[in-house]
Amino acid sequence: MQTGKIIKSNSGFYDVQLANQKIIRTRARGNFRHQKIKPIVGDWVECDQGYLLRIKPRKNEIVRPLIANVDQALIVMAAIQPSFSSNLLDRFLVILESQSIAPLIYLSKMDLLDAKCSTELKQQLHYYSQIGYPVFLSEQLNNPLKLKQALAQRETVLAGQTGAGKSTLLNHLIPNLNLATNSISNSLNRGKHTTRLVTLYPFQQGLIADTPGFSSLTLQAITREQLPQLFPEFNKLSLHCKYRSCVHLNEPDCAVKQAVAAGKILPSRYQNYQQFQAEIAQKRPVYSKNNKRSNSNK
């Protein structure tokens, strides 16, 4: 019996890195399929004679990208081509916060901005660093020591939209990878997929994962009441709201709305929060078969 971590999954085969750094290729036992158990990259597993026998409990799991047991996520956003989206950035932050995964922010393609746009974007990113999110810029890659220190001895997943530059960043950090990169589609303002699989690579005594990109992201199972807690600056201010259950929308004497009016909260940040609340309110409740059966018996 051997224990290791799945570092790559492809067409029913799973590459497992053992404690001695050896990598073995395995397949899942047939009863995994019958029990609807799906191994994913990042899983700690027990294996023997080329078969996965058991998946250990996961400390966390991200659906997009599909990966488990990560310490932190480096959100790779493009400054341009495709255009920077604070809405997409805040979606990533909210989803990672809900999974207790520490987010870091990396802005690629800063060199393609003119001086005015660069200054404006840096001012916006300064707000994120003030509320506790580490921010790194592509123009700092000539001396990437701080970024490497932030990734060292941790399991990190790179997440971001297609064409944002995840593979380009990994090629810079680990030159011998030679990952394929591609340009964006000018007509759609989004990138062309080059990474097809989630793969973990050894890096700085830790692991780092490249992932397929995408252009949209849902809020999964986040509730209306949970959402305010996933905005760190809102969570701190909520202690001063009139109502303990304040969700910072229509309530009177709301400390968050007062901070927005006073310019202490980034306007786009609160606008994105309002949109997320509206999306959550429109979600239909999901009823399981067990609930339907128990309701029919009443």
For the chain, domain boundaries: 2-57, 62-210, 227-282
CB of 26 within 8 A of CB of 4?
no
Is the predicted pLDDT of residue 135 greater than 90, yes or no?
A: yes
Range of weakest confidence among 59-68, 253-262, 263-272: 59-68
Q: Are strands 61-62 and 67-68 parallel, antiparallel or unpaired?
A: antiparallel
pLDDT at 196: 58
Summarize pLDDT for 207-255 with one digit per residue, the tens.
Answer: 998 777 654 577 878 999 999 999 999 999 999 999 999 999 999 999 9
Higher pLDDT, 167 or 266: 266
Average confidence (pLDDT) over 24-49 = 91
Confidence of residue 297 (pLDDT cuts 50, 70, 90): very low
Q: Where is the binding site for Zn(2+), in residues?
A: 241, 246, 248, 254
Nearest to 173 by CA among 64, 76, 72: 76
pLDDT at 284: 63
Confidence of residue 277 (pLDDT cuts 50, 70, 90): very high
Average confidence (pLDDT) over 50-55 = 94
Q: What percent of the chain has pLDDT over 90?
A: 61
DSSP code string of 177-200: G-----PEETTTTEEPP---S-EE
Summarize pLDDT for 77-121 with one digit per residue, the tens.
Answer: 999 998 999 999 999 999 999 989 999 999 999 999 999 999 999
Average confidence (pLDDT) over 179-188 = 51
Confidence of residue 48 (pLDDT cuts 50, 70, 90): very high
pLDDT at 272: 98
Question: What are 286's two structure tokens?
Answer: 């999901």
Q: At what angle do helices 267-282 and 86-98 cross, to 10 degrees?
A: 60
Is the predicted pLDDT of residue 285 greater than 90, yes or no?
A: no
Task: Give dist(CA 26, CA 13) in Å, integer.
Answer: 6
Average confidence (pLDDT) over 26-51 = 91
pLDDT at 131: 97
The matching CATH number, chosen from 3.40.50.300, 3.40.50.720, 3.30.565.10, 3.40.50.150, for 62-210 is 3.40.50.300
Domain 2-57: CATH superfamily, name plus number? Nucleic acid-binding proteins (2.40.50.140)
Confidence of residue 130 (pLDDT cuts 50, 70, 90): very high
Is the predicted pLDDT of residue 184 greater than 80, yes or no?
A: no
Q: Where is the binding site, in residues?
A: 108-111, 160-168, 241, 246, 248, 254
Summarize pLDDT for 32-44 with one digit per residue, the tens.
Answer: 888 888 999 999 9
CB of 7 within 8 A of CB of 23?
yes
What class, spelled out in words, does domain 227-282 have in CATH?
A: mainly alpha
pLDDT at 99: 87
End-to-end CA distance of the chain: 49
pLDDT at 171: 87
Q: Where is the binding site for GTP, in residues?
A: 108-111, 160-168
